[in-house]
Amino acid sequence: MNQYIPLSIPNFEGNEKKYVDEALEQGWVSTGGAYITRLEQELARFLRVEDVAACQSGTAALHLSLVEAGVRPGDGVLVPPVTFIAAVNPVKYQFANPIFIDCDDSFCMDPVKLRAFCEQECEFKEGVLTHGGRRIRAVVVVHVFGNMADMEAIMRVAGDFNLKVVEDATEALGTRYVEGRFAGKYAGTIGDFGAFSFNGNKIITTGGGGAVTARDPQMVTHLRYLSTQAKDDPHYYVHHEVGYNYRMTNLQAALGVAQMEELEEFIARKNRNYGLYSSLFEGFELAEMMPFRGGVASNCWFYSLKINRGRVKASLREIITALEEKGIQTRAIWGLINEQRPYKDEETYSLERAPYYAERILNLPCSTQITTADIEFVTKEIKSLLEGMAR
């Protein structure tokens, strides 16, 4: 093997070492320090919101959002099956019950089925939506792979049925509408709450780390308070609420400030590389690149190749393993969350597109430092492999 092309790795081309060294020299390495405030301000400026709270992870951001949304034990929360399991686990943290709603062709929640579930399977009385005696309090909408869910339609459903909307924008920092009702609005800034992740494979990274925002800036203040153990008196350690150890560290934030300086360039590279893959696979009968939603400027975080199951019978595992042997790291879309052991007994609604795509989608190498030669090599090897597997 002469080369290895990873799926998605971090890119430290800027001031990352400088800022981390400064944080170390200043002695601010934990959950206090100027870089945390600076990162929050940079994120708020970029997203065009009033306030953002930096936290430990995207999962922490989602959990805090559900807490602030008032999700209680026994409630129902509408969630997607096509996502990373961290989008759904916080529902269980609240001892609530997820109900899985199918995706559309963007891999994001299908607003048509969302409305059908609310209208046909639930009762809406005096502003409260119930299903089987269980209150449905919120919906978690994931912007999968940097795509944008159909937020116009989803927000109409949420308004009609008094649902809180938690946007999981952990993969979609920088994705925004350019047309329609929400033109200029970024993923994570349309619903009641927005969660972001800076994990190592995201478009920017702080190693671990995340952030949360809310439509009501006072709620962001409260989210920040909850993330720091809900401390009301710094001298006597008085606490009036149950808090969480969910605050980001200053070292992480130092990385994040440097990464924010490069975000626009990273998005431009992601878009260029997606365009190159699309042109190279154009007209190929055994696989095609999946598009991003129209009317949206996507960050193009992950690239999805749909395998032609009518011609290629090999499993995704066989394809992934064969490419790994050629020095190319790829992955399947995800195991559907409703099929995972902790969730196999939870309710689902009209799952059709989710299993369809789970059998067909292959994610391609998409690091911001991937070269044109790398992309051409990946495309050539995938085409050759699929042609050899075709019938």
Residue 5 has a pLDDT of 98
**Which residue do the tokens 């301000």 mark?**
41
Res 3: pLDDT: 87
Following DSSP, what letter does each residue of 155-213 receive, concatenated? HHHHHHHT-EEEEE-TT-TT-EE-SSTTTTPBTTSSSSEEEEE--TTSSS--SSBEEEE
Report the run of H or E that residue 78 belongs to, with start and end. strand 76-79
Q: Interhelix angle for 34-47 vs 16-26, to 10°?
A: 140
- pLDDT in the model for residue 32: 86
pLDDT (0 to 100) of residue 118: 98
In the prediction, which pLDDT does 357 show? 98
Find all residues with CB under 8 Å of 77, minimum gap 6, and list them.
66, 71, 91, 94, 96, 97, 98, 99, 136, 137, 138, 139, 140
In this structure, what token pair is assigned to residue 84?
């990373």
Same fold, 16-260 and 263-389: no
Chain-centre distance for alpha carbon 66: 16
Q: How far, in Å, CA of 119 to CA of 157, rounded?
A: 10
Out of 2.102.10.10, 3.20.20.70, 3.40.640.10, 3.40.50.920, the CATH code matching 16-260 is 3.40.640.10
Q: Residue 256 has which token pair?
A: 């994040």
pLDDT computed for residue 376 by the predictor: 98
Q: What is the pLDDT of residue 18?
A: 98
HSE, CB side, 13 Å, CA atoms: give it for residue 162. Answer: 13
CA dist., res. 278 & res. 49, Å (int): 33
| pLDDT at position 391 | 77
Each domain of the chain, given as residue ranges in start order, spans 16-260, 263-389
Q: What is the pLDDT of residue 285?
A: 97
pTM: 0.96
What CATH code would you report for 263-389? 3.90.1150.10
**Each residue's pLDDT expressed in tens, for the chain with a length of 391 residues:** 568 999 999 999 999 999 999 999 999 888 889 999 999 999 999 999 999 999 999 999 999 999 999 999 999 999 999 999 999 999 999 999 999 999 999 999 999 999 999 999 999 999 999 999 999 999 999 999 999 999 999 999 999 999 999 999 999 999 999 999 999 999 999 999 999 999 999 999 999 999 999 999 999 999 999 999 999 988 999 999 999 999 999 999 999 999 999 999 999 999 999 999 999 999 999 999 999 999 999 999 999 999 999 999 999 999 999 999 999 999 999 999 999 999 999 999 999 999 999 999 999 999 999 999 999 999 999 999 999 999 7
Token output for 82: 């096509």
Which two tokens mark 346? 């939870």
